A and B are shown apart, each in its own frame.
Chain A
C-alpha cells in the first residue's frame, strides 16, 4: 500500500465537507476510519451477528472465534507474551480506570503515592484522583522542562519510598513529547514499582513491543488507531491480571455463582463483564491489519516527515508560537497566534475545511503550567500530506488577516 495515496482508503475524504476538501488535522483526538473497518462492521451485523462466548449455535461460535482473533492480532501487534494479557475495554479511559480501581483497591492505602506527570491527559489523572478522595493517597507530578518534555531525571526526582505505582503517557497529546518509557520502567522496576503507560498517542504512531518495554500495563484507544469508537485495550502482565480483583461484575466474567459465594472466570474473561462491543472488537482487527499492511515503520517515517515539514513551515510563519520543543516528538503541533484566541483560530480554519482542535485538549494541568488557557493543535495521521500542511499555513494567514495582524 502506497502511503502517498492512502487518503483514498478513507471514505470520509471522498466527498466535500461544507464545500471544502477535508484537511483533517485532528487525529490525536480521533482518527478517521478506513473503508475496511467500516465495511467490517456492516458485514458483521448483516451476515454474521451473534453474541460471543455464550451460545453453542453456529453464529455464536463463529462470532466468538472472530472476537478472539482480534485478541491474537493485538497480542502480536504489540508483541505481548500471551493473548490472555489482552483485555478489551470500552476505551483507554476504561483501561486506566480498571487499573486505578483494582490496583488501588488491593495495593494503595493512606499516604501512599501515585506518580504521574504534568503532561497527563485527564484520563490518566481523574481515575487516580478518585483514589485520592477514597483512600487519602497522594498524587505527585513529575515536572515538564522548558521543551515540554518529561525526562527520566524528572521522574526519578519524584520517586519516594511511598511511590506505589507510576502512570505516564507514552506520547504527549499537546507537546508531542515521546517519553523515555523503557528507561522509566527499568528505573521503576529497580525500586519494585509497577508502571502503567497511557498509550493513547503511542499505539497509533509508534512501534510497540511489550516484552521489550517491559511495562506492567499499557492502555490503548481503538478509535485513535483507525478503529471504531467504543473499543480499547488494556495490556497487562499476566501476573497482574491473575493477582488483581475483577473490575466490573456481570455475565461472562464468572466461574460459578451460588447464593453463598461467587468464583470468577479465567483470564481474560475475568475482566470482560457483560456483552462487549463485539462488532467493534471484530472490526478493530481490520484496523490492525490495515496498519500492518502499511507497516508501522512506514507510518513512523511518513509522520516524521510531515512533522518536520510542518514545524519548518509554521516556524517561518510570523506570530505563530509553537508549544514545546521536545527532541523526541510525535506528529502533534500545538501552537498559539499572538493576538488570536485558539477558538477563533479553529473557527476560521474550519471555514476552509481545515479541522484542528482548540482548547486545553484535556490537559489543564499542563496548560496551567504553561500559563496558557488554551492552545490550537494540528495532529497528523497516515492520510495527511504536505499539501494539508500548506493549507493549514494558508488558513493561518487568513486568520491573521481577519484579525489585522
Chain B
C-alpha cells in the first residue's frame, strides 16, 4: 500500500477545490446519497435536455478528499454526455473500482480515462472504496428517478 497512490495530486486538487460544487436552479433530476457509517453525504443535481443529454450537473455535500474528488471528477466527465453514455461510464467506473484493472468504455478519451484512473488507488483500501463510489451510485439513482436515498452499505 502506498499513500501516494491514494492521494495523488489530482485527487488533492479536486478534493480541495471541487468543481461543480453547488446547486443550479433548473435541474430536473436529483438524488441524495449518504454513507451511514461515516456521515458523508452528497446530493447530485442534473438537467437532462429533450435529447437526453446532460446539459448541466452539480453536487452538494461534504466528505473526505476521496469522495469530494470523485464527485468533482465525475460531474466534469459526464457533462455533455447522453444518458446512455453516462450509464456506460458509471458501469465501467464501478467495475474498475471493484475488480477490473482498467477502463474499457470507448466513450471516454484517453486523458479522461487517466483522470478517472487516479481514483483507482482506493482499491488498496477496501474501507475507502465506498468514498469513491457514493456519488456515482447517487448519479445513477438521479437518472433512474429513484426516491430511495443511496446508502453505501451493501
Contact = CB atoms under 8 A, between A and B. Distances in A.
Given A341-B63, A403-B12, A373 B39 contact: yes
A358 B16 contact: no
Nearest to B65: A344
22 contacts: A339-B16, A340-B65, A341-B64, A342-B38, A343-B40, A344-B7, A344-B65, A344-B66, A347-B3, A347-B128, A348-B3, A348-B7, A351-B3, A359-B38, A359-B39, A360-B39, A364-B39, A374-B38, A402-B3, A402-B12, A403-B12, A403-B16
Nearest to A351: B3
Interface string A340-358: 1111100110010000001
A176 B67 CA distance: 29
Interface size class of A (residues with CB under 8 A): 20 to 34
Interface of A: 18, 339-344, 347-348, 351, 358-360, 364, 367, 373-374, 402-404
Given A347-B128, A360-B39, 14 more contacts: A341-B63, A341-B64, A343-B63, A343-B131, A344-B65, A347-B3, A351-B3, A360-B38, A373-B41, A374-B38, A374-B40, A402-B3, A402-B7, A404-B12
B6 interface: yes
A344 B66 CA distance: 8
Nearest to B6: A347
A373 B38 CA distance: 8
Interface of B: 1, 3, 6-7, 12, 16, 37-41, 62-66, 68, 125, 127-128, 131
Nearest to B63: A341
A340 B62 CA distance: 12
Nearest to A361: B39
B65 A341 contact: yes
Contacts of B128: 343, 347
B38 A343 contact: yes
- Give the most central of A339, A343, A403: most B CB within 10 Å: A343
A374 B39 contact: yes
Contact of A343 (B3, B12, B64): B64
A359 B63 CA distance: 10
Contacts of B37: 359
A373 B12 contact: no
Contacts of A360: 38-39
